[in-house]
Amino acid sequence: MEKLSNELSAYREQRFRAIEENLRVIRDNIAKAAVKSGRAPEDIRLMAVTKTVEPCFINHCLHQGVDLMGENRVQEYLGKKDELDLDGVEVHLIGHLQTNKVKQIIREVSMIQSVDSVKLATEISKQAVKNNLTMSVLLEVNVGEEASKSGMLYEAVPDLCAEISELPNLKIEGLMAIPPMEAEEAELRGYFSCMNKLFVDMGRQSKDNVNMKILSMGMSADYALAIEEGANLVRVGSSLFGARIY
């Protein structure tokens, strides 16, 4: 029994050290990419993506000064949130959200990054009104036009944004994208720079309830590229916590 718990705590300690080291590398890469794109390191926000990660490891990461975390699934987040040290930490929902789950999550996160339809935005607005709060959202763009992915089609974003901006108790704060997994570097750059163009263009048109300030793109494999092409929020999971075990 004692042997088992010693091994467990050795395993934990090892993972804690790995998270610290990973974080150091990631922050360094973020800083370099920021400078390369003419910005300051602190202009880029790092989100720890915590799906499948146990609370003790999430907390260890948060204790290193990471102040933003993203979860994909409503149920998973609700199941572990009470074990998290969320003082001073912002939580965003980043996974596909079904309309029937909105009411369970509306009071639990400060932003929903995965708004992919007017229907979903309408439900978020409705629940925000009911709960007397304003919800910040990003519009998710299916930049690779993949059938397997949710997100708005690139060309449709300005019109859908105009429609969504009419809804009460919502604030549109930017765009989010996940480019195709298999894309190579040049292709990825293309997707990221298209996103940045849309982000900048839409930012020029001022509208009530629309304030284009967040461009959320880049994950473990490509966050430095994404920053070089204009991202100011990167969502990093496996490079930080290790490979996910489902």
- By the criterion CB under 6 A, which residues form the site for ligand PLP? 49, 51, 72, 94-95, 178, 219-221, 235-239
Q: What is the phi/psi pair of residue 61, to 5°?
A: -65, -45
Q: How far is the CB of 44 from ligand PLP (least distance, A)?
A: 15
Q: How far is the CB of 101 from ligand PLP (least distance, A)?
A: 16
Q: Is the dihedral of CA 97, 99, 101, 104 positive or negative?
A: positive
Instruction: State the DSSP H helix or E strand holding residue 32, giving kind and residue range, or none if neither.
Output: helix 2-36
Residue nearest to ligand PLP (CB): 237
Complex with ligand PLP: residue 67 or 76, whichever CB lies closer: 76
Instruction: State the DSSP H helix or E strand holding residue 126, giving kind and residue range, or none if neither.
Output: helix 118-130
Q: How far is the CB of 9 from ligand PLP (least distance, A)?
A: 26
Q: How far is the CB of 47 from ligand PLP (least distance, A)?
A: 8
Dist CA 54 CA 83 (whole Å): 9
Complex with ligand PLP: residue 163 or 187, whichever CB lies closer: 187
Complex with ligand PLP: residue 51 or 126, whichever CB lies closer: 51
User: Concatenated DSSP letters for 230-241?
Assistant: T-SEEEE-HHHH
SS3 2: helix
Complex with ligand PLP: residue 167 or 173, whichever CB lies closer: 173
Complex with ligand PLP: residue 167 or 227, whichever CB lies closer: 227
Taking a C-beta distance cutoff of 8 angstroms, is the pair 72, 41 a contact?
A: no
Q: Is the dihedral of CA 189, 191, 195, 198 positive or negative?
A: positive
Q: How far is the CB of 207 from ligand PLP (least distance, A)?
A: 26
SS3 44: coil
